[in-house]
Structure 1
Amino acid sequence: MPSEDIPCAALLLAEDLEADMDVLDRLRRDGVDLRDRLDDQRAGLAALGDDLPDEAPRWAYYPWSRIAVRILGPAGFDRLRLDRNRNKITAEEQARLRSAKVGVVGLSVGYAVAYTLALEGACGALRLADFDELELSNMNRLPVSVTDLGVNKAVIAARRIAELDPYLPVEVWTDGVTPDTVGAFCRDLDVVVDECDSLDVKLLIRTEAARRRLPVVMHTSDRGLLDVERFDLDGDLLPFHGLLGDIDPETLQTLSTRDKVPYVLCLLDPEEISARMAASMLEVGESLETWPQLGADVGLGGVTVSAAVRGIVLGHPIASGRGRVDLDRHLDALDVPSVHSEAPDVPSVHSEAPDVASAAPGVPAGASPDGETPQDPLEAVIDAAIRAPSGGNAQPWSIVVEPDCLTFALAPEPEPVLMDLHRRGSLVALGAALHNARVAAANHKILGPATVLDPPGEPEPGVPLAHLELGSDTDPDLAAYHSGMLARATNRSPGDPHTVTDDELEAMHAAARLLGGRIEVVTESDDIARLAEILTESDRVRYLDGRLRSEMVAELRWPDDPDPDSGIEVDSLGLDTAEAAMLDVVLRDDALDLLEEWGLGRGLGRMTRDRVLGSAGLVAVFTEGRSPADYIRGGAVVESVWIAAQEIGLAVQPVSPVFLYADTRSDLEHLSPEHVDDLDVLRQELAAVLEVPAGGGLALLLRFGRASAATMRSRRRNDRVRHAGDVDGLIPARG
Structure 2
Amino acid sequence: MFSKTKSEIIPGSLLAHLHNTDFTYTPVFFDLNIEEQKENLLDLLENNNRIEVFDSIIAQVSEYLKCVKPGLALLPKAELEKLVEQRFAERSTDYYGLWVFYPWNNRLVHLLNEEEFCEVRTNRNKYKITSEEQHTLSQKKIGIMGLSVGQSVALTLAMERGFGELRIADFDLLDLSNLNRIRTAAHNIGLPKTVIVAREIAELDPYLKVTCFHEGITANNLDVFLNGNGKLDLLIDECDSFDIKINARKKAKALGIPVLMEGSDRGTIDIERFDLEPQRPVLHGMVDHLDMDNYANLKTMEERLPYISAVTGIETLSPRMKASAVELMATISTWPQLASAVTFGGGVSADLSRKILLHQLDISGRFFLDLDELISDPDKTEQKQDHQEIKPWSVTDIETYIQDNSFDQYVHSGINLEEKELALLIEAARKAPSGGNNQPWRWHYQNRTLHLFLEESSAQAYLDPAFISSYISLGAAIENLLLTAATLKLKVNWQFTPLLAPKHIALFSFERGFEANDLQLSLAAQITNRHTNRKITPKQLISTDKLEYLGGLAEDIDGISCKFISDTEKIALISNIAAHCDLLRMFIPEAYHDFVNREMRWNLDEVNSTEDGIGIHTLDLGNTDQVGIKLAKDAKAIQFLKTINGGSGFKRLTRDQLMASSCLGLISASDMSTVSYLKAGLAAERLWLGATDIEIQVHPLNVPLIFFYKNSIENNLSIDSFEKEKLFNLESDLRGIFELDEQQQPMFMFRLFIASSSPERTIRKSTYKIFSSGRE
Residue in structure 2 matched with residue 662 of structure 1 by the alignment: 708
Residue in structure 2 matched with residue 59 of structure 1 by the alignment: 99
Deviations 1:689-723 (A, max 9, x none): 33333221222122232134343243145454556
Residue in structure 1 matched with residue 483 of structure 2 by the alignment: 439
| Cα distance change, pair 626–444 in 1 and its aligned pair in 2 (3 A) | same
**Aligned residues of 1:260 and 1:578 also touching (Cα < 8 A):** no
Cα distance in structure 2, aligned partners of 1:49 and 1:393:
77
Residue in structure 1 matched with residue 502 of structure 2 by the alignment: 461
Q: Greater Rg, structure 1 or structure 2?
A: 2
Shift of 1:183: 0.9
The answer to whether residue 699 in structure 2 is matched with residue 653 in structure 1 is yes
Aligned runs of 1:481-492 on 2, under 5 Å? 481-492=523-534
* Residue 628 of structure 1, aligned match among 671, 674, 684: 674
Cα distance in structure 2, aligned partners of 1:308 and 1:719:
55
| Cα distance change, pair 122–413 in 1 and its aligned pair in 2 (3 A) | closer
**Aligned residues of 1:539 and 1:658 also touching (Cα < 8 A):** yes
Shift of 1:381: 4.2
Amino acid at match of 1:34: V
* Residue 38 of structure 1, aligned match among 43, 57, 61: 57
Moved more, 153-162 or 599-608: 599-608
**Aligned residues of 2:265 and 2:318 also touching (Cα < 8 A):** yes
| Cα distance change, pair 321–429 in 1 and its aligned pair in 2 (3 A) | closer
Aligned runs of 1:47-446 on 2, under 5 Å? 47-49=66-68, 56-187=96-227, 188=230, 189-245=232-288, 247=290, 249-255=292-298, 256-270=300-314, 272-332=316-376, 380-399=424-443, 401=445, 408=452, 410-446=454-490
**Aligned residues of 2:526 and 2:693 also touching (Cα < 8 A):** yes
Deviations 1:423-455 (A, max 9, x none): 221221222223223323333443456655665
Residue in structure 1 matched with residue 719 of structure 2 by the alignment: 673
Shift of 1:543: 2.0
Amino acid at match of 2:25: C
Residue in structure 2 matched with residue 480 of structure 1 by the alignment: 522
Residue in structure 1 matched with residue 747 of structure 2 by the alignment: 699
| Cα distance change, pair 683–216 in 1 and its aligned pair in 2 (3 A) | same
* Residue 12 of structure 1, aligned match among 17, 29, 33: 29
The answer to whether residue 539 in structure 2 is matched with residue 497 in structure 1 is yes
| Cα distance change, pair 26–172 in 1 and its aligned pair in 2 (3 A) | farther
Amino acid at match of 1:101: K
Shift of 1:98: 1.8
The 3-state SS of whatever aligns with 1:487 is: coil
Cα distance in structure 1, aligned partners of 2:291 and 2:689:
45
Deviations 1:171-227 (A, max 9, x none): 222211112221111122222110011211110111121122212111111222222
* Residue 509 of structure 1, aligned match among 551, 562, 583: 551
Shift of 1:401: 5.0
What are structure 2's unaligned runs of at least 5 residues? 1-19, 70-83, 382-417
The 3-state SS of whatever aligns with 1:560 is: helix
The alignment's TM-score, normalised by the length of structure 2, stands at 0.80
| Cα distance change, pair 690–144 in 1 and its aligned pair in 2 (3 A) | farther
Amino acid at match of 1:243: M
**Aligned residues of 1:619 and 1:702 also touching (Cα < 8 A):** yes
Cα distance in structure 2, aligned partners of 1:692 and 1:127:
71
Cα distance in structure 1, aligned partners of 2:438 and 2:745:
22
**Aligned residues of 2:581 and 2:707 also touching (Cα < 8 A):** no
Cα distance in structure 1, aligned partners of 2:528 and 2:769:
21
* Residue 567 of structure 1, aligned match among 603, 610, 613: 613
Cα distance in structure 1, aligned partners of 2:269 and 2:380:
18
Cα distance in structure 1, aligned partners of 2:289 and 2:31:
53
Deviations 1:532-564 (A, max 9, x none): 332222222222222112222223344234644
Amino acid at match of 2:604: P
User: Whose relative contact order is higher, 1 or 2, with alpha carbons under 8 Å and at least 6 apart?
Assistant: 1
| Cα distance change, pair 703–416 in 1 and its aligned pair in 2 (3 A) | same
**Aligned residues of 1:631 and 1:699 also touching (Cα < 8 A):** yes
**Aligned residues of 1:661 and 1:698 also touching (Cα < 8 A):** no
Residue in structure 2 matched with residue 21 of structure 1 by the alignment: 41
Cα distance in structure 2, aligned partners of 1:10 and 1:328:
42
| Cα distance change, pair 621–44 in 1 and its aligned pair in 2 (3 A) | same
The 3-state SS of whatever aligns with 2:525 is: helix
The 3-state SS of whatever aligns with 2:53 is: strand
The 3-state SS of whatever aligns with 1:611 is: helix
Residue in structure 2 matched with residue 350 of structure 1 by the alignment: none
Residue in structure 2 matched with residue 612 of structure 1 by the alignment: 658
| Cα distance change, pair 122–395 in 1 and its aligned pair in 2 (3 A) | closer
**Aligned residues of 2:438 and 2:459 also touching (Cα < 8 A):** no
**Aligned residues of 1:217 and 1:227 also touching (Cα < 8 A):** yes
* Residue 643 of structure 1, aligned match among 676, 689, 692: 689
The alignment's TM-score, normalised by the length of structure 1, stands at 0.84
Amino acid at match of 2:54: R
Cα distance in structure 2, aligned partners of 1:653 and 1:265:
28
Residue in structure 2 matched with residue 359 of structure 1 by the alignment: none
Moved more, 547-556 or 378-387: 378-387
**Aligned residues of 1:493 and 1:708 also touching (Cα < 8 A):** no
Residue in structure 1 matched with residue 6 of structure 2 by the alignment: none
**Aligned residues of 1:422 and 1:661 also touching (Cα < 8 A):** no
**Aligned residues of 1:536 and 1:602 also touching (Cα < 8 A):** no
Cα distance in structure 2, aligned partners of 1:226 and 1:262:
21
Shift of 1:45: 2.8
Cα distance in structure 1, aligned partners of 2:536 and 2:438:
24
Moved more, 651-660 or 472-481: 472-481
Cα distance in structure 2, aligned partners of 1:197 and 1:563:
39
Cα distance in structure 1, aligned partners of 2:492 and 2:690:
23
**Aligned residues of 2:575 and 2:655 also touching (Cα < 8 A):** yes
The 3-state SS of whatever aligns with 1:698 is: strand
Residue in structure 1 matched with residue 760 of structure 2 by the alignment: 711
| Cα distance change, pair 521–140 in 1 and its aligned pair in 2 (3 A) | same
Amino acid at match of 1:222: D
**Aligned residues of 1:638 and 1:699 also touching (Cα < 8 A):** no
Amino acid at match of 2:751: R
Shift of 1:470: 5.0
**Aligned residues of 1:397 and 1:410 also touching (Cα < 8 A):** yes
Shift of 1:421: 2.4
- Greater helix share, structure number: 2
The 3-state SS of whatever aligns with 2:703 is: coil
Amino acid at match of 1:566: D
